Amino acid sequence: MDMNSTKYLISMALISIGLVTTSCGKQEAETTEAKPDAAAAAAPVAAGDEEKVLNIYNWSDYLAEDTIPNFEKETGIKVRYDVFDSNEILHAKLMAKNTGYDIVVPSSNWAKLQIDGGLLQKLDKSKLTNYGNLDPDILAQMANLDPGNEYMVDWLWSYTTVGINVDKVKTALGDMPMPENAWDLVFDPKYTSKLKSRGITFLDAPSEVFPIALRYVGKAPHSNNADDYKVAYEMLAKVRPDIKKFSSGGQIDDLAGGNVCVALGWAGDFNLARNRSIENKSPQNIEALITSMGGYMFMDTMVIPADAKHVDNAHKFINYILRPEVHAGLTNAVTYANPNKAATQFVDEEVRNNKTIFLPAEDVKKLIPPGNVDNATRRVMTRYFTQFKTGA
């Protein structure tokens, strides 16, 4: 596969995004919440220096085992690392201010909203000596969201798609062949009614489900027309009785443990579930599917909140992640693609050649690019998602 042309196409897909500042409702956080400032009390402060503490808030299952310990050993900086499972949760925290975090990792379209809302601060690139490792094509096109690349550094990227337990789906479908468009497995009652006995799970966030549902019903994925959301909702309502669970952070374990057979979720997590299942010598054969309709692309970016207290340490951490071996280590551990050109040589061959991680160019072209909707539409989307979940 050609990773450079893949990255170029990703960049191209990001060009045409229309972004509008928005806000969103607070949701229940699924997180290993800890008090970030608790770490500060324990750490010594050298005279004239920033205290040796760094508070990070990132997605769950998005880290190599040695990423944080190696950084702590090398710098003496104590890291407090908390996790979340949706952009909505992170955004609500940032909107409430005083998060106590020094680095957070929103998807690029959400980070754009946070820049516009004055919630983030600019990077000091003079402190990021490894910045040149980033793919210039990706940087150039990310500048459409973040002019001059002043705020965001990509952590990893992937896309929302359909994941399956191959054997369980085959058994559940019986004589019925797999659909041409794999999204039918989660959106068409003809399939969901057969698959429900073995478990269907959806991501638990309106902004993850609606762009795809809208495209499935023939509407624009980032539509600002409330009527379009009604059409998508009506489609979703028909499969609601067949859905077992709404979970974002739980899909890896649910798939690897054989508790569900189909998921609307993140390709990286499906590959991770596959690896976990192999490591555990479990019989679950998990696959991330490339659908004919395309999935929803996301680029998760490291940004620094406007009120962060350990800004220098935050830059040290970002610069550390940008080392080729460290960035490649993330990709190898969690099976998500990275934006680091210099890291490619350190990515395990099996991961590098996995076409559901580093998508072929023609599949990248099909992805829905990250985007936002206006405030009123965001409320409509959230209301329909709640209705969908509660089955009202």
- C-alpha distance from residue 142 to each of 5, 321, 364, 370 (Å): 16, 18, 16, 11
> Judged by CB, which is closer to ligand N2P: 77, or 364?
364
The answer to whether the Cα torsion of 14, 18, 23, 25 is positive or negative is negative
Q: What are the strands, taking DSSP E only, across the chain?
A: 53-59, 78-84, 103-104, 120-121, 153-165, 200-202, 245-246, 262-266, 286-289, 296-302, 304-305
CA 294 – CA 368 distance, rounded (Å): 7
Site map for ligand N2P, 287-306, x if CB under 6 A?
A: -----------x-x------
Q: Shortest gap between Cβ of 315 and ligand N2P (angstroms)? A: 23
Is residue 284 at the binding interface for ligand N2P, with CB under 6 A as the rule? no
The interface region with ligand N2P, picked from 24-32, 46-54, 64-72, 261-269 by CB under 6 A, is: 261-269
Angle of helix 67-75 relative to helix 324-334, nearest 10 degrees? 150
Interaction residues for ligand N2P, span 41-60 (CB under 6 A): 59-60
Site map for ligand N2P, 182-221, x if CB under 6 A?
A: ----------------------------------------
> Judged by CB, which is closer to ligand N2P: 156, or 195?
156
> 186 with 192: CB under 8 angstroms?
yes
Q: Shortest gap between Cβ of 269 and ligand N2P (angstroms)? A: 5
Count of beta carbons in the 10 Å neighbourhood of residue 31: 17
- Quickly tell me which residue has 């050609």 as its tokens: 2
Q: Shortest gap between Cβ of 367 and ligand N2P (angstroms)? A: 13
Is residue 266 at the binding interface for ligand N2P, with CB under 6 A as the rule? yes
> Judged by CB, which is closer to ligand N2P: 59, or 229?
59
Name the residue whose CB lies closest to ligand N2P. Answer: 61
For residue 23, give the nearest of 101, 96, 105, 122 by alpha carbon.
Answer: 96
- C-alpha distance from residue 376 to each of 24, 164, 267 (Å): 10, 35, 30
> Judged by CB, which is closer to ligand N2P: 77, or 90?
90
Interaction residues for ligand N2P, span 61-120 (CB under 6 A): 61-62, 107
Q: Shortest gap between Cβ of 13 and ligand N2P (angstroms)? A: 16
Q: Shortest gap between Cβ of 83 and ligand N2P (angstroms)? A: 9
For residue 232, give the nearest of 257, 211, 201, 250 by alpha carbon.
Answer: 211
- Which listed residue (102, 254, 269, 363) binds ligand N2P by CB under 6 A? 269
Give, in degrees to the nearest 5, the angle at Cα 353 between 143 and 137: 15
List residues near ligand N2P by CB under 6 A.
Answer: 59-62, 107, 266, 268-269, 298, 300
